[in-house]
Structure 1
Amino acid sequence: MKAPAGVAGYRPHDLLWPLAASSLVFSGPPPPWATPDWLAVAPVVVRRATLADPAQVPVGLRGATRSERCAAWMAAGHAVRVLKPEEIARSAAGSARVRESPLACLQALARLGPAFDALPLAWGVTGGVGFSLASGFDVLRPDSDLDLILRAPLAADADALRAVAQLLRDLEARVDAQVETPFGAFALQEWVRTGGPVLLKTHRGPVLTDNAWSSPDSASFDAACRPMPA
Protein backbone atom coordinates (compact mmCIF):
# COMPACT_ATOMS: atom_id res chain seq x y z
CA MET A 1 0.00 0.00 0.00
CA LYS A 2 1.31 3.43 -0.89
CA ALA A 3 2.37 5.69 1.96
CA PRO A 4 -0.10 8.50 2.67
CA ALA A 5 0.72 11.88 1.19
CA GLY A 6 -0.21 13.51 4.47
CA VAL A 7 -3.11 15.47 5.82
CA ALA A 8 -4.57 18.14 3.54
CA GLY A 9 -1.97 17.28 0.88
CA TYR A 10 1.01 18.12 3.10
CA ARG A 11 4.11 15.99 2.66
CA PRO A 12 7.15 15.42 4.89
CA HIS A 13 9.54 18.41 4.81
CA ASP A 14 6.83 20.93 3.86
CA LEU A 15 7.16 24.06 6.00
CA LEU A 16 3.97 25.37 7.64
CA TRP A 17 3.37 28.63 9.46
CA PRO A 18 0.83 27.99 12.26
CA LEU A 19 -2.15 30.26 12.68
CA ALA A 20 -1.23 30.64 16.37
CA ALA A 21 0.78 28.90 19.08
CA SER A 22 -2.49 27.36 20.24
CA SER A 23 -2.69 25.47 16.92
CA LEU A 24 0.04 23.15 18.19
CA VAL A 25 -0.44 20.21 20.55
CA PHE A 26 2.48 18.78 22.52
CA SER A 27 2.75 15.45 24.33
CA GLY A 28 3.93 17.38 27.38
CA PRO A 29 4.81 20.96 28.30
CA PRO A 30 6.24 22.85 25.30
CA PRO A 31 9.94 23.65 25.52
CA PRO A 32 10.74 27.11 26.93
CA TRP A 33 12.16 28.35 23.65
CA ALA A 34 8.89 27.61 21.76
CA THR A 35 7.30 30.87 22.79
CA PRO A 36 4.21 32.37 21.14
CA ASP A 37 6.44 35.12 19.71
CA TRP A 38 8.78 32.55 18.11
CA LEU A 39 5.91 30.46 16.74
CA ALA A 40 4.32 33.58 15.29
CA VAL A 41 7.21 33.94 12.84
CA ALA A 42 8.99 30.57 12.61
CA PRO A 43 7.63 27.72 10.47
CA VAL A 44 7.20 24.13 11.61
CA VAL A 45 8.11 21.18 9.39
CA VAL A 46 5.87 18.26 8.48
CA ARG A 47 7.38 15.03 9.81
CA ARG A 48 6.74 11.41 8.98
CA ALA A 49 4.50 9.67 11.54
CA THR A 50 1.46 7.45 11.83
CA LEU A 51 -1.69 9.53 11.55
CA ALA A 52 -3.64 8.64 14.68
CA ASP A 53 -5.98 11.58 14.07
CA PRO A 54 -6.56 12.59 10.42
CA ALA A 55 -7.32 16.14 11.55
CA GLN A 56 -3.80 16.56 12.99
CA VAL A 57 -0.56 17.04 11.07
CA PRO A 58 2.64 15.65 12.67
CA VAL A 59 5.18 18.47 12.75
CA GLY A 60 8.60 19.25 14.13
CA LEU A 61 9.67 22.52 15.69
CA ARG A 62 13.15 23.98 15.66
CA GLY A 63 14.57 26.90 17.57
CA ALA A 64 17.60 29.07 17.02
CA THR A 65 20.17 26.48 18.15
CA ARG A 66 20.96 22.89 17.19
CA SER A 67 19.69 21.50 20.49
CA GLU A 68 16.28 23.16 20.21
CA ARG A 69 14.06 20.55 18.56
CA CYS A 70 10.62 19.30 19.50
CA ALA A 71 7.82 17.16 18.02
CA ALA A 72 4.22 18.30 18.03
CA TRP A 73 0.91 18.04 16.17
CA MET A 74 -0.92 20.83 14.38
CA ALA A 75 -4.56 21.15 13.39
CA ALA A 76 -4.73 20.48 9.64
CA GLY A 77 -6.56 23.69 8.76
CA HIS A 78 -4.38 25.98 10.87
CA ALA A 79 -1.58 26.70 8.43
CA VAL A 80 -1.58 30.28 7.18
CA ARG A 81 1.28 29.61 4.76
CA VAL A 82 2.85 26.53 3.18
CA LEU A 83 6.25 26.33 1.52
CA LYS A 84 7.46 23.18 -0.21
CA PRO A 85 11.13 22.16 -0.54
CA GLU A 86 10.92 22.58 -4.32
CA GLU A 87 9.77 26.17 -3.88
CA ILE A 88 12.70 26.90 -1.58
CA ALA A 89 15.07 25.50 -4.22
CA ARG A 90 13.55 27.72 -6.91
CA SER A 91 13.84 30.86 -4.78
CA ALA A 92 17.45 29.99 -3.91
CA ALA A 93 18.40 30.10 -7.59
CA GLY A 94 18.02 33.88 -7.67
CA SER A 95 19.14 34.58 -4.12
CA ALA A 96 22.14 36.86 -3.64
CA ARG A 97 22.46 35.41 -0.15
CA VAL A 98 23.10 31.97 -1.64
CA ARG A 99 25.40 33.16 -4.45
CA GLU A 100 27.54 35.39 -2.24
CA SER A 101 27.61 33.40 0.99
CA PRO A 102 30.94 32.28 2.51
CA LEU A 103 29.17 29.27 4.05
CA ALA A 104 30.09 25.95 2.44
CA CYS A 105 26.50 24.66 2.57
CA LEU A 106 25.18 27.62 0.57
CA GLN A 107 28.12 27.51 -1.83
CA ALA A 108 27.29 23.86 -2.47
CA LEU A 109 23.66 24.77 -3.13
CA ALA A 110 24.68 27.47 -5.62
CA ARG A 111 26.92 24.99 -7.41
CA LEU A 112 24.44 22.11 -7.47
CA GLY A 113 21.29 24.01 -8.39
CA PRO A 114 21.84 24.39 -12.16
CA ALA A 115 23.02 20.78 -12.50
CA PHE A 116 20.03 19.45 -10.55
CA ASP A 117 17.63 21.50 -12.65
CA ALA A 118 18.92 19.69 -15.74
CA LEU A 119 18.02 16.28 -14.31
CA PRO A 120 14.58 14.61 -14.77
CA LEU A 121 13.87 14.68 -11.02
CA ALA A 122 12.04 17.17 -8.85
CA TRP A 123 14.24 18.27 -5.96
CA GLY A 124 14.10 20.60 -3.00
CA VAL A 125 15.99 22.04 -0.04
CA THR A 126 15.21 20.91 3.50
CA GLY A 127 16.88 20.96 6.93
CA GLY A 128 18.59 23.98 8.39
CA VAL A 129 19.34 25.54 5.00
CA GLY A 130 15.71 25.24 3.94
CA PHE A 131 14.50 26.63 7.26
CA SER A 132 16.93 29.55 7.10
CA LEU A 133 16.14 30.48 3.49
CA ALA A 134 12.39 30.22 4.09
CA SER A 135 12.23 32.07 7.41
CA GLY A 136 15.11 34.52 7.13
CA PHE A 137 16.48 33.36 10.49
CA ASP A 138 20.25 32.94 10.51
CA VAL A 139 20.55 29.46 12.07
CA LEU A 140 23.40 28.24 9.85
CA ARG A 141 26.97 27.60 10.99
CA PRO A 142 30.23 27.12 9.08
CA ASP A 143 29.82 23.33 9.48
CA SER A 144 26.14 23.16 8.57
CA ASP A 145 25.09 20.36 6.22
CA LEU A 146 23.08 20.88 3.06
CA ASP A 147 19.95 18.70 3.21
CA LEU A 148 18.17 17.92 -0.05
CA ILE A 149 15.19 15.85 -1.11
CA LEU A 150 14.88 14.12 -4.48
CA ARG A 151 11.49 12.94 -5.78
CA ALA A 152 11.97 9.58 -7.48
CA PRO A 153 8.52 8.03 -8.00
CA LEU A 154 9.77 5.23 -10.28
CA ALA A 155 12.48 2.59 -10.04
CA ALA A 156 13.46 3.75 -13.52
CA ASP A 157 14.76 6.95 -11.88
CA ALA A 158 17.79 4.99 -10.65
CA ASP A 159 20.10 6.27 -13.41
CA ALA A 160 19.26 9.87 -12.57
CA LEU A 161 19.96 9.16 -8.89
CA ARG A 162 23.39 7.77 -9.76
CA ALA A 163 24.06 10.97 -11.70
CA VAL A 164 23.12 12.98 -8.61
CA ALA A 165 25.50 10.93 -6.49
CA GLN A 166 28.33 11.88 -8.84
CA LEU A 167 27.45 15.55 -8.47
CA LEU A 168 27.74 15.29 -4.69
CA ARG A 169 31.39 14.26 -4.80
CA ASP A 170 34.21 16.68 -3.92
CA LEU A 171 32.06 19.34 -2.30
CA GLU A 172 33.25 21.41 0.64
CA ALA A 173 29.99 20.86 2.54
CA ARG A 174 28.47 17.58 3.59
CA VAL A 175 25.30 16.96 1.55
CA ASP A 176 22.58 14.67 2.87
CA ALA A 177 20.32 13.73 -0.05
CA GLN A 178 17.11 11.88 0.81
CA VAL A 179 15.28 10.08 -1.98
CA GLU A 180 11.48 10.09 -1.74
CA THR A 181 9.60 7.17 -3.32
CA PRO A 182 5.85 6.45 -3.10
CA PHE A 183 6.56 4.31 -0.01
CA GLY A 184 9.01 6.37 2.00
CA ALA A 185 12.46 7.95 1.87
CA PHE A 186 16.03 6.66 1.99
CA ALA A 187 19.54 8.11 1.99
CA LEU A 188 21.01 8.35 -1.51
CA GLN A 189 24.56 7.67 -0.32
CA GLU A 190 23.45 4.49 1.47
CA TRP A 191 21.67 3.22 -1.65
CA VAL A 192 24.74 3.86 -3.81
CA ARG A 193 27.02 2.17 -1.27
CA THR A 194 24.90 -0.98 -0.81
CA GLY A 195 23.67 -1.33 -4.38
CA GLY A 196 20.05 -1.60 -3.29
CA PRO A 197 19.25 -2.52 0.35
CA VAL A 198 18.39 0.62 2.34
CA LEU A 199 16.70 1.74 5.51
CA LEU A 200 13.40 3.15 4.27
CA LYS A 201 11.75 5.81 6.43
CA THR A 202 7.98 5.28 6.30
CA HIS A 203 4.97 6.66 8.14
CA ARG A 204 4.98 3.42 10.17
CA GLY A 205 8.65 3.69 11.10
CA PRO A 206 11.97 2.71 9.47
CA VAL A 207 12.27 -0.66 7.74
CA LEU A 208 15.12 -2.37 5.91
CA THR A 209 14.17 -3.19 2.33
CA ASP A 210 15.84 -4.45 -0.83
CA ASN A 211 13.48 -2.41 -3.01
CA ALA A 212 12.54 1.10 -1.94
CA TRP A 213 10.00 1.29 -4.78
CA SER A 214 7.94 -1.58 -3.40
CA SER A 215 5.56 -1.48 -0.45
CA PRO A 216 7.11 -3.12 2.65
CA ASP A 217 4.90 -5.87 4.06
CA SER A 218 3.77 -6.17 7.66
CA ALA A 219 6.36 -8.86 8.35
CA SER A 220 9.12 -6.39 7.53
CA PHE A 221 7.82 -3.94 10.12
CA ASP A 222 7.42 -6.71 12.67
CA ALA A 223 11.03 -7.72 12.12
CA ALA A 224 12.21 -4.12 12.41
CA CYS A 225 10.49 -3.79 15.78
CA ARG A 226 11.64 -7.17 17.13
CA PRO A 227 14.23 -6.81 19.93
CA MET A 228 17.74 -8.05 19.23
CA PRO A 229 18.74 -11.26 21.02
CA ALA A 230 20.80 -10.80 24.17
Structure 2
Amino acid sequence: MVSTLMAHDLLWGMSPEQLPADAPAWVIDSLSAGQPVVVRRAVSVAGQVAVGVRGRLREQRYAASMAIDSMTRRVQPEALCHVDSPRDLPALRALKQLRPLLDRCGWTWGVSGSAGFELASGFEALHEGSDLDLILRTAQPLSRVHARALVAQLDAAQCVVDMQLQTPFGAVALREWAGASSRVLLKNASQACLVLDPWNPQEQAA
Protein backbone atom coordinates (compact mmCIF):
# COMPACT_ATOMS: atom_id res chain seq x y z
CA MET A 1 0.00 0.00 0.00
CA VAL A 2 2.85 2.41 0.82
CA SER A 3 4.23 2.19 -2.72
CA THR A 4 0.86 3.00 -4.25
CA LEU A 5 0.34 6.23 -2.33
CA MET A 6 1.68 9.24 -4.19
CA ALA A 7 2.39 12.87 -3.40
CA HIS A 8 -0.76 15.04 -3.68
CA ASP A 9 -3.12 12.13 -2.97
CA LEU A 10 -5.85 13.14 -0.52
CA LEU A 11 -6.55 10.71 2.30
CA TRP A 12 -9.40 10.47 4.79
CA GLY A 13 -9.36 8.67 8.12
CA MET A 14 -6.63 10.34 10.14
CA SER A 15 -7.84 11.12 13.65
CA PRO A 16 -6.63 13.78 16.10
CA GLU A 17 -5.36 10.94 18.29
CA GLN A 18 -2.58 10.33 15.75
CA LEU A 19 -1.20 13.83 16.26
CA PRO A 20 1.67 14.72 18.59
CA ALA A 21 0.65 16.16 21.95
CA ASP A 22 1.88 19.62 20.97
CA ALA A 23 -0.09 19.85 17.71
CA PRO A 24 -1.78 23.27 17.27
CA ALA A 25 -5.48 23.56 18.02
CA TRP A 26 -6.31 24.38 14.39
CA VAL A 27 -4.80 21.06 13.28
CA ILE A 28 -7.02 19.17 15.72
CA ASP A 29 -10.03 21.18 14.52
CA SER A 30 -9.28 20.37 10.85
CA LEU A 31 -9.14 16.63 11.47
CA SER A 32 -12.15 16.72 13.79
CA ALA A 33 -14.14 18.38 11.00
CA GLY A 34 -13.44 15.41 8.74
CA GLN A 35 -11.02 17.11 6.39
CA PRO A 36 -8.62 14.97 4.36
CA VAL A 37 -4.85 15.18 4.60
CA VAL A 38 -2.51 15.40 1.62
CA VAL A 39 0.34 12.99 1.02
CA ARG A 40 3.74 14.70 1.25
CA ARG A 41 6.88 13.79 -0.63
CA ALA A 42 8.88 12.49 2.34
CA VAL A 43 10.24 9.24 3.74
CA SER A 44 8.08 7.48 6.34
CA VAL A 45 8.51 4.52 8.64
CA ALA A 46 6.77 1.25 7.84
CA GLY A 47 3.01 1.47 8.20
CA GLN A 48 2.97 5.27 8.07
CA VAL A 49 2.67 7.86 5.32
CA ALA A 50 3.90 11.45 5.46
CA VAL A 51 0.97 13.85 5.19
CA GLY A 52 0.13 17.51 5.54
CA VAL A 53 -2.85 19.04 7.31
CA ARG A 54 -4.41 22.23 5.94
CA GLY A 55 -5.92 25.01 7.99
CA ARG A 56 -8.15 27.89 6.95
CA LEU A 57 -5.22 30.30 6.57
CA ARG A 58 -2.53 30.03 3.90
CA GLU A 59 0.23 29.76 6.50
CA GLN A 60 -1.57 26.97 8.36
CA ARG A 61 0.18 23.87 7.05
CA TYR A 62 1.22 21.11 9.41
CA ALA A 63 3.46 18.12 8.63
CA ALA A 64 2.44 14.86 10.26
CA SER A 65 2.40 11.09 9.80
CA MET A 66 -0.72 9.01 9.27
CA ALA A 67 -1.18 5.31 9.96
CA ILE A 68 -1.92 3.72 6.59
CA ASP A 69 -4.37 1.22 8.07
CA SER A 70 -6.56 4.10 9.30
CA MET A 71 -7.18 5.32 5.74
CA THR A 72 -10.85 5.15 4.78
CA ARG A 73 -10.78 6.94 1.42
CA ARG A 74 -8.23 8.09 -1.15
CA VAL A 75 -8.64 10.58 -4.01
CA GLN A 76 -5.89 11.13 -6.55
CA PRO A 77 -5.44 14.41 -8.46
CA GLU A 78 -6.40 12.84 -11.80
CA ALA A 79 -9.82 11.92 -10.39
CA LEU A 80 -10.60 15.64 -10.02
CA CYS A 81 -10.07 16.82 -13.60
CA HIS A 82 -13.77 16.90 -14.45
CA VAL A 83 -15.30 17.62 -11.05
CA ASP A 84 -17.42 20.76 -11.19
CA SER A 85 -18.01 23.31 -8.46
CA PRO A 86 -20.92 25.73 -7.94
CA ARG A 87 -18.46 28.45 -6.93
CA ASP A 88 -17.35 31.06 -9.45
CA LEU A 89 -13.67 31.80 -8.84
CA PRO A 90 -10.73 32.50 -11.19
CA ALA A 91 -8.98 29.20 -10.42
CA LEU A 92 -12.13 27.21 -11.18
CA ARG A 93 -12.77 29.19 -14.36
CA ALA A 94 -9.17 28.54 -15.41
CA LEU A 95 -9.62 24.83 -14.79
CA LYS A 96 -12.71 24.74 -16.99
CA GLN A 97 -10.86 26.72 -19.68
CA LEU A 98 -7.83 24.40 -19.67
CA ARG A 99 -9.64 21.05 -19.55
CA PRO A 100 -9.95 20.55 -23.34
CA LEU A 101 -6.28 21.40 -23.87
CA LEU A 102 -5.06 19.08 -21.12
CA ASP A 103 -7.39 16.27 -22.18
CA ARG A 104 -5.83 16.42 -25.64
CA CYS A 105 -2.20 16.60 -24.48
CA GLY A 106 -1.71 12.83 -24.33
CA TRP A 107 -0.54 12.82 -20.70
CA THR A 108 -2.40 11.99 -17.49
CA TRP A 109 -3.05 15.20 -15.60
CA GLY A 110 -4.66 16.16 -12.31
CA VAL A 111 -5.69 18.94 -9.97
CA SER A 112 -3.77 19.51 -6.74
CA GLY A 113 -3.35 22.33 -4.23
CA SER A 114 -6.30 24.33 -2.95
CA ALA A 115 -8.45 23.56 -5.98
CA GLY A 116 -7.93 19.83 -5.65
CA PHE A 117 -8.60 19.95 -1.92
CA GLU A 118 -11.87 21.86 -2.41
CA LEU A 119 -13.12 19.76 -5.32
CA ALA A 120 -12.43 16.51 -3.47
CA SER A 121 -13.65 17.46 -0.01
CA GLY A 122 -16.22 20.23 -0.41
CA PHE A 123 -14.34 22.33 2.17
CA GLU A 124 -13.80 25.84 0.79
CA ALA A 125 -10.07 26.42 0.28
CA LEU A 126 -10.02 28.75 -2.75
CA HIS A 127 -10.34 32.52 -2.88
CA GLU A 128 -10.24 35.17 -5.61
CA GLY A 129 -6.45 35.31 -5.62
CA SER A 130 -5.78 31.56 -5.55
CA ASP A 131 -3.47 29.99 -8.10
CA LEU A 132 -4.48 26.81 -9.91
CA ASP A 133 -2.11 23.93 -9.13
CA LEU A 134 -1.91 21.07 -11.62
CA ILE A 135 0.20 17.97 -12.07
CA LEU A 136 1.21 16.19 -15.27
CA ARG A 137 2.29 12.56 -14.99
CA THR A 138 5.14 12.35 -17.46
CA ALA A 139 6.44 8.78 -17.46
CA GLN A 140 8.38 9.62 -20.63
CA PRO A 141 10.43 12.79 -21.21
CA LEU A 142 8.66 16.01 -22.11
CA SER A 143 10.89 18.09 -24.35
CA ARG A 144 11.78 21.63 -23.35
CA VAL A 145 10.21 22.88 -26.58
CA HIS A 146 6.90 21.28 -25.65
CA ALA A 147 7.29 22.53 -22.08
CA ARG A 148 7.62 26.12 -23.31
CA ALA A 149 4.57 25.73 -25.54
CA LEU A 150 2.57 24.36 -22.62
CA VAL A 151 3.62 27.25 -20.37
CA ALA A 152 2.44 29.72 -23.01
CA GLN A 153 -0.95 28.01 -23.11
CA LEU A 154 -1.25 27.95 -19.31
CA ASP A 155 -0.39 31.64 -19.19
CA ALA A 156 -3.52 32.40 -21.21
CA ALA A 157 -5.71 31.15 -18.34
CA GLN A 158 -7.70 33.38 -15.99
CA CYS A 159 -5.31 32.99 -13.07
CA VAL A 160 -1.74 31.96 -12.37
CA VAL A 161 -1.33 28.25 -13.15
CA ASP A 162 1.49 26.24 -11.60
CA MET A 163 2.15 22.76 -12.97
CA GLN A 164 4.44 20.05 -11.64
CA LEU A 165 5.83 17.37 -13.91
CA GLN A 166 5.71 14.05 -12.08
CA THR A 167 8.56 11.96 -13.48
CA PRO A 168 9.35 8.40 -12.36
CA PHE A 169 12.14 9.85 -10.20
CA GLY A 170 10.44 12.86 -8.63
CA ALA A 171 8.80 16.17 -9.47
CA VAL A 172 10.04 19.24 -11.30
CA ALA A 173 8.27 22.54 -11.94
CA LEU A 174 7.11 22.88 -15.54
CA ARG A 175 8.18 26.53 -15.64
CA GLU A 176 11.65 25.61 -14.46
CA TRP A 177 12.00 22.87 -17.09
CA ALA A 178 10.79 25.34 -19.72
CA GLY A 179 13.32 27.94 -18.59
CA ALA A 180 16.82 28.73 -19.72
CA SER A 181 18.77 27.08 -16.90
CA SER A 182 20.48 23.83 -17.84
CA ARG A 183 19.87 22.32 -14.42
CA VAL A 184 16.51 22.03 -12.68
CA LEU A 185 15.46 21.08 -9.16
CA LEU A 186 14.13 17.54 -8.90
CA LYS A 187 12.30 16.67 -5.68
CA ASN A 188 11.65 13.15 -4.45
CA ALA A 189 10.88 11.53 -1.10
CA SER A 190 14.47 11.55 0.10
CA GLN A 191 16.05 14.69 -1.36
CA ALA A 192 15.93 17.66 -3.70
CA CYS A 193 18.79 17.85 -6.17
CA LEU A 194 19.83 19.70 -9.30
CA VAL A 195 19.77 17.54 -12.44
CA LEU A 196 20.30 18.04 -16.12
CA ASP A 197 17.49 15.65 -17.03
CA PRO A 198 14.61 14.90 -14.60
CA TRP A 199 14.05 11.57 -16.36
CA ASN A 200 17.68 10.53 -15.83
CA PRO A 201 18.59 11.41 -12.25
CA GLN A 202 22.09 9.99 -12.56
CA GLU A 203 22.92 13.24 -14.36
CA GLN A 204 23.13 15.27 -11.16
CA ALA A 205 24.97 18.49 -10.66
CA ALA A 206 28.22 18.27 -8.82
User: TM-score, normalised to structure 1's length?
Assistant: 0.81
Tell me if the contact between 1:49 and 1:58 (Cα under 8 Å) persists in the aligned partners: yes
In the TM superposition, what is the alpha-carbon distance from 1:19 to its structure 2 partner? 4.8
Aligned-pair RMSD on alpha carbons? 2.2
Q: In the alignment, does 2:83 pair up with 1:97?
A: no
Secondary structure, counterpart of 1:194 in structure 2: coil
Specify which of 109, 119, 124 is matched with residue 133 of structure 1.
119
Counterpart amino acid of 1:199? Answer: L
* Unaligned runs of at least 5 residues, structure 2: none
- The CA distance in 2 between the partners of 1:37 and 1:185, in whole Å, is 28
| Structure 1 residues 37 and 109: CA distance shift in structure 2, 3 A | closer
**How is 1:4-153 mapped onto 2 (pairs within 5 angstroms)?**
7-22=2-17, 24-26=18-20, 29-35=22-28, 38-51=31-44, 53-90=45-82, 92=83, 95-97=84-86, 101=88, 103-153=89-139
Deviation string 1:44-95 (CA, Å, 9 cap, x unpaired) is 00000123x12110000001221211000011111100000000113x2xx2
- The CA distance in 2 between the partners of 1:66 and 1:21, in whole Å, is 21
- The CA distance in 1 between the partners of 2:134 and 2:32, in whole Å, is 24
- The CA distance in 1 between the partners of 2:153 and 2:30, in whole Å, is 40
Secondary structure, counterpart of 2:93 in structure 1: helix
The alignment of Structure 1 onto Structure 2 pairs a total of residues equal to 205
In the TM superposition, what is the alpha-carbon distance from 1:170 to its structure 2 partner? 2.5
Tell me if the contact between 2:15 and 2:31 (Cα under 8 Å) persists in the aligned partners: no
Structure 1 counterpart of 2:171: 185
In the TM superposition, what is the alpha-carbon distance from 1:139 to its structure 2 partner? 1.9
| Structure 1 residues 210 and 34: CA distance shift in structure 2, 3 A | same
Counterpart amino acid of 2:56? Answer: A
Structure 2 counterpart of 1:227: none
Identity %: 39
Tell me if the contact between 1:18 and 1:39 (Cα under 8 Å) persists in the aligned partners: no
In the TM superposition, what is the alpha-carbon distance from 1:31 to its structure 2 partner? 1.2
Counterpart amino acid of 2:183? Answer: P
Secondary structure, counterpart of 2:26 in structure 1: coil
Specify which of 150, 159, 163 is matched with residue 173 of structure 1.
159
- The CA distance in 2 between the partners of 1:173 and 1:31, in whole Å, is 32
Higher deviation after alignment, 31-40 or 56-65: 31-40
Moved over 4 A (4+): none
- The CA distance in 2 between the partners of 1:203 and 1:19, in whole Å, is 21
- The CA distance in 1 between the partners of 2:195 and 2:180, in whole Å, is 11
